[in-house]
Structures are given as structure tokens and as C-alpha cells.
């Protein structure tokens, strides 16, 4: 079967190449001429990538030109018609208003992946790490009342004292030493500072070495 196919293909290629019009057009294309000869249109042989057909936009009703290959898939004349009117949607986490097309409104609950992650953390609370447990015990020992995994906008500090507007983070040595995570921590610190919160970050080494000293830093900040 393969030999018969090869013979048929060679025969067709030979017949095409013996056609002087086809041969001249291919030579013009290969030597770098941008368009084939104008005689193609006279002979009714328009290249597939040059032909265009007209179609009516499904939204605004205007006519637009498209290649024949897109005839069955193209429905709109522009991105504006494709998106259609947009309506406001409020995020359940940060209350930010986003404008979305109608087809996304029924399932639009969050404005970003970060807000979705916060919702998942609320829904499925995680267990405390070792350094978080040590820090919580040290804070309780000196009589500070705090909240765990308190949401502040898009940030979730490990511990928070809302009355004093203090946010406490317990950072692991490896994960928070990565460049991307460091940049993210700086953005979180800046965002919380703009909201009027004081941010305290304690590394894993400091907490394991002396958690009481870390808690004492927070106590002194509450007394100011």
C-alpha cells in the first residue's frame, strides 16, 4: 500500500510541475517574491491564505472578512463584540469589584487566585507547625490574647492582635529564604503597613532558640 501511495504522489507532483503556470508561480515564491503573480486571480487560482469571505457578526450584525478556514468558528467581528457587556461582581474575600461577562457571573466569587486560596484555607483549616506551636505557647505565657490565621485583606498572618493592629508571621528557614517568597513577603509587609498594621516576622531559628524572647518583642510593641 505504501509503495502505491508513493507512486501516486510522485505522479501527481510530476503532473503539477509539468504545468508551466504552476512551476512559474512556485519559482516566484521560492526566490523571495512576497505574492504570486497577478495572473493567479485571472485564472481563478487564489492561494488559500489570500482568499477572504464575508460573515455577519452574531452580536452587532456588521459584516467582516475572514479566511475560509475560520468560516465555521468565527462568530464575532471584534474582541469587544466577543466579550460583550460586562457587569460588576464583588469578591467575597477582599470586596474588590471586578467587571465580568455575563457567562462568568454565576460562578464569579473571587477576584484572584490569592482570594480563592484564602477561602480554601478558611474552609479547611490546617494544623499548626512546630514553630507556630512554640510561638503560641510563648504568647499565652505572657498573657497576650491573639487570633490564629486572621485574615487581613489578602494576607493571613499566623497570629494577629487586632486591638493593637499587630500581625505576627513565623517563617520557616528554607521556604522563606527563596527569592520569590522573599519578594512576596516584602509585598505583604508593605500592604499591611499601608493598612496601619505593624508586622513582626520571626525566623524558625529565632523561635527554636528562644521563643520567649520573640514573644517579649511583641509584648513591648503592645505597651507602646
Q: What pLDDT, in 10s, does the model give residues 204-217?
A: 999 999 999 999 99
For the whole model, what pTM was predicted? 0.54
Residue 207 lies in a domain: yes
Higher pLDDT residue, 198 or 102? 198
Residue 79 lies in a domain: no
Same domain, 156 and 205: yes
Listed in sequence order, the residues at least 6 apart from 212 whose beta carbon sits closer than 8 Å to its beta carbon are 138, 141, 142
Same domain, 134 and 212: yes
- pLDDT of 36 reads 47
Higher pLDDT residue, 128 or 133? 133
Residue 57 lies in a domain: no
The pLDDT-based confidence of 152 (bands split at 50, 70, 90) is confident
What 3-state DSSP class applies to 45?
A: coil
- pLDDT of 12 reads 46
Same domain, 131 and 219: yes
Going through 68-189 in order, the beta strands assigned E by DSSP cover: 87-90, 97-100, 147-148, 159-161, 166-171
Helix (H) or strand (E) holding 51: none
- Partnered with residue 63 across adjacent β-strands are 56
- pLDDT of 18 reads 57
- Please list the alpha-helical segments (H only) found in 19-129: 20-30, 39-42, 79-83, 113-123
Same domain, 144 and 210: yes
Same domain, 133 and 107: no
As a whole number, the mean pLDDT across the chain is 79
Same domain, 157 and 210: yes
pLDDT tens profile 56-114: 888 888 888 887 777 788 888 888 888 778 889 998 888 889 888 877 888 888 888 88
Same domain, 171 and 89: no
- pLDDT of 30 reads 46
**63-66 and 53-56 strand pairing:** antiparallel
Same domain, 96 and 130: no
Give the rounded distance of the alpha carbon of 117 from its chain centre: 13
- pLDDT of 32 reads 45
Q: Are 139 and 159 in contact (CB under 8 A)?
A: yes
Higher pLDDT residue, 37 or 148? 148
Q: Please count the structural domains in the chain.
A: 3
Same domain, 114 and 130: no
Residue 74 lies in a domain: no
- pLDDT of 213 reads 93
Residue 70 lies in a domain: no
Higher pLDDT residue, 44 or 171? 171
For 6, the domain range is 2-51
- pLDDT of 34 reads 47
pLDDT tens profile 159-197: 999 999 999 999 998 889 999 999 999 999 999 999 999
Higher pLDDT residue, 127 or 60? 60
Provide the CATH number for the domain around residue 158. Answer: 3.40.960.10
Q: Is residue 10 pLDDT above 60, yes or no?
A: no
Same domain, 109 and 154: no
Residue 157 lies in a domain: yes
- pLDDT of 128 reads 80
Residue 215 lies in a domain: yes
Residue 69 lies in a domain: no
Same domain, 217 and 191: yes
Q: Is residue 135 pLDDT above 90, yes or no?
A: yes
- pLDDT of 211 reads 92
Average pLDDT over residues 132-152: 90
Same domain, 152 and 93: no
Amino acid at each position: 500500500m505504501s509503495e502505491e501511495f508513493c507512486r501516486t504522489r510522485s505522479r501527481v507532483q510530476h503532473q503539477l510541475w509539468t504545468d508551466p503556470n504552476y512551476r512559474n508561480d512556485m519559482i516566484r515564491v521560492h526566490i523571495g517574491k512576497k505574492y504570486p503573480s497577478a495572473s493567479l486571480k485571472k485564472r481563478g487560482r487564489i492561494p488559500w491564505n489570500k482568499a477572504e469571505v464575508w460573515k455577519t457578526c452574531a452580536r452587532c450584525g456588521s459584516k467582516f472578512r475572514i479566511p475560509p478556514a475560520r468560516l465555521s468558528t468565527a462568530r464575532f467581528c471584534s474582541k469587544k463584540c466577543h466579550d460583550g457587556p460586562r457587569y460588576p461582581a464583588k469578591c467575597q474575600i477582599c470586596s474588590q469589584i471586578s467587571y465580568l461577562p455575563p457567562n462568568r457571573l454565576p460562578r464569579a466569587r473571587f477576584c484572584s487566585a490569592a482570594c480563592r486560596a484564602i477561602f480554601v484555607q478558611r474552609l479547611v483549616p490546617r494544623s499548626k507547625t512546630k514553630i507556630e506551636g512554640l510561638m503560641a505557647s510563648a504568647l499565652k505565657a505572657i498573657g497576650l490574647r491573639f487570633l490564629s490565621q486572621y485574615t487581613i485583606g489578602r494576607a493571613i498572618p499566623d497570629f494577629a492582635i487586632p486591638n493593637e493592629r499587630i500581625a505576627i508571621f513565623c517563617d520557616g528557614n528554607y521556604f522563606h529564604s527563596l527569592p520569590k517568597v522573599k519578594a512576596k513577603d516584602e509585598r505583604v509587609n508593605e500592604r499591611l503597613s499601608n493598612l496601619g498594621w505593624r508586622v513582626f516576622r520571626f525566623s524558625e531559628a529565632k523561635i527554636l532558640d528562644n521563643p520567649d524572647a520573640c514573644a517579649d518583642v511583641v509584648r513591648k510593641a503592645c505597651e507602646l
